[in-house]
Amino acid sequence: MSHIAELIAVGTELLLGNIANTNAQTLSQSLSALGVNVFWHTVVGDNPERLKEALDIARRRCDILITTGGLGPTYDDLTKQTICEAFGKPLILHPDILEDIRAFYESALHVPMPENNTQQAELPEGCTVFDNPVGTAPGCAFESEGVHVLMLPGPPHEMETMLRRHVEPYLRKLSHEVIVSQDIMTFGMGESSIDQLLHEKMAHMTNPTLATYAKPCEVRLRATAKAATEDEAYSMLAPVGQMVLETLGDIVYGVDGGDLADCCHGHLIRRGLTLATAESCTGGLVAQRLTAIPGISAVYRGGVVSYWTSVKADLLRVPQDILDTYGPVSAQCARAMAEGVRKLTGADLGVSVTGAAGPDPDERGVPVGIVYIGLATPEGTFCRPLDLGRRRRDRIQGLAANHAFDVVRRYLQGLPVERI
């Protein structure tokens, strides 16, 4: 039997946008892995009447109902009371839980427990108690009229601790299926173009399924299978991945891995090569993404942000005649920058980025979105010209950085570099 879940987050601060509902993401990922279908996310303010309405709707359409928030000691923490009223469950004081809360205050906070915390030790009659080792609000679960109701605290650290410690084992006993997903990473083709190539196949898939979703500056495909075991699910996903690879070819750069920077790191390690970067319009973004990777010092020599034309000439030794004749945003300059940083650092490979990120054309009138990626290698120097169009400045910079990584990745894999 497939279970259907609804998540109800309680808290006016969520509706006001003061905090993000990260609990919903964490719970959905966990429930998906357990084979539980999450069909609805609901957010309700600290209002008992509206929470009752949400509960009435949820109990008619799901058999697992999980709430987060509203378990604290203040006047507006009314989740427990409202749920118990809706499901006809009396609240019972648990002296042992009250003593645990009192001890938490005295040992961890070094203050006496306020009396209003007593209500946190009141739980629905006959419920399964979820202790909270990192806070004062215990959670709980009970079953009523075929619906499993679980109440969890709102603070994400407390919620996730309780999820791993209690909720997942509780739900694992209810579900006899697992859902496994794989992300297939691509770069170099838009979401609509990928959908056009795969639409016929995706439209007729039921289990496993395949869907596209656009990430910033790239597109990923998610293949999902439901089966009795993880091994069975992964065996169902294998032909899907093979079909995507055969259809899309070398724009696929990985499965369930990191981003393009991580991909380059792995290839550099395997090839035993080092890399250096020279950047202009990306302002160090390529270097920043590389240095965020643990262990990158084994393959990354360093980088130069040559924003001024004079820095390109003085530090990277870009010939002045190239700068005068073609300008700093040109294929000739990109090649020279890559060669310069490779020579300056002694790296095996040098990659460069120069372009007009906007919002205005450069001083020579080069339109916004024109970018050149240079790559200097032992075999020669290459350049990928790009017209990224009039996008937001940060989007042009992100795309340009991804193209720099893609050029490196393709070279290391023996693929064409200058064009996708």
84 exposure class (CB count in 10 Å sphere: 0-12, 13-18, 19+): buried
pLDDT of residue 1: 59
Residues 148/65, Cβ–Cβ less than 8 Å: yes
Instruction: Report the candidate in 284, 280, 356 with the shortest Cα–Cα distance to residue 312.
Output: 280
Instruction: Report the candidate in 280, 325, 336 with the shortest Cα–Cα distance to residue 306.
Output: 280
Q: Which residues are CB-contacts of 88 (< 8 A; sequence separation ≥ 6)?
A: 144
Can you say whether the dihedral through the CA atoms of 339, 345, 350, 351 is positive or negative?
A: negative
State which residues of the chain have pLDDT below 70. Answer: 1
Distances 298 to 16, 98, 385 between C-alpha atoms, Å: 46, 54, 30
Q: How many residues does the chain have?
A: 420
Domains parsed from the chain with CATH numbers: 3-172 (3.40.980.10), 178-255 (3.30.70.2860), 260-412 (3.90.950.20)
Distances 377 to 159, 312, 315, 328 between C-alpha atoms, Å: 50, 19, 19, 21
pLDDT of residue 331: 98
